[in-house]
Amino acid sequence: MLFGASTFIWASPFSTQNIDLFHKVKNMGYDILEIAVEDSALIDWKVMKDVARDLDIKITISGAFGMERDISSVEPHYRKLGREYIEECIKIAADMGSPIFGGPLYSAVGKIRLVSDEQKKQERAWCVDTLAEVSQIAADSGVVLGLEPLNRFETDMVNTVEQAISMVEEVGHPHLKIVLDTFHSNIEEKDIPASIRKIGKNRLCHVQGNESDRGTPGTGHLEWEGIRDALRDIGYDGAVVIETFGQPSKELARAACIWRPLANSADELASEGLAFYKQLFR
């Protein structure tokens, strides 16, 4: 099992100025720095790749999906921008050696409304068509796309593992799989270990192991031993990454509903979270 920390813990948006995070996570004992791509123009990717190589830190790439990056939007221009963003992040992931590009690929975070069944059907159709196309682009690039269910307060499209499986199966491409975030699962799943077993090894490409309140893993009420056992049962041997928000931008704070500090400091959350991971999994 490899353990990682998201740049979201310390910075939003992440930029070249935050390059010291590579040294920080290396010194803490992490295997992976997960880079959240809010604005790719702020990041010198060659410098990132060189530093990661020199420090022997792996990189994974995650997405940030605002209203203008929504492949299910009723606005054609936003659907176009959403697809272009996914394609850009696939290229970044391939160039940086990330095996996955994950996130709520299907919609904008914070898009919650009650709409007609007809509109839902149309939005899903736009989404599925685009996901099928970009999944082939990902395959050609040697990258797996990870579709992440979000809780009901952040999206109205894919909340549960069952809904994620349904969308992945409808797209029907082997390079579209599922990212599991235990924070969202804690809200939406009746039995998180059972939901992990339902996804199975062949569909689960990445795990964001977050606490029930997005604070330090091990300090909330998640059933961590059951989660660990379920991951072992399906033979999952990928990454487990902490993704929480220490210094969120105004847009991110609003989308993820982060209004207060989740730990005494970002460094404390990351270091104590890693210690918990190592005790739990090893």
- Could you confirm whether 148 is annotated as catalytic? yes
Please name the residues in contact with 267: beta carbons below 8 A apart, sequence gap of 6 or more: 24
Which residue of the set 34, 123, 154, 243 is catalytic?
243
Q: Give the strand pairing for 100-103 and 58-63.
A: parallel
Nearest to 241 by CA among 197, 201, 183: 183
Nearest to 129 by CA among 148, 111, 105: 105
Taking the alpha carbons at both ends of the chain, their separation in whole angstroms is 9
Q: Are 152 and 104 in contact (CB under 8 A)?
A: no
- Could you confirm whether 75 is annotated as catalytic? no
Q: Give the strand pairing for 100-103 and 176-181.
A: unpaired
Rounded Cα distance between 46 and 59, Å, is: 13
Rounded Cα distance between 98 and 161, Å, is: 24
Rounded Cα distance between 18 and 15, Å, is: 6
Which residue of the set 38, 148, 188, 272 is catalytic?
148
Rounded Cα distance between 98 and 109, Å, is: 23
Omega within 30 of 0 (cis) for the link into 13 = yes
The count of C-alpha atoms lying within 13 angstroms of the C-alpha of 74, restricted to the half-sphere facing its C-beta, is 6
> Residues with catalytic annotation?
148, 243
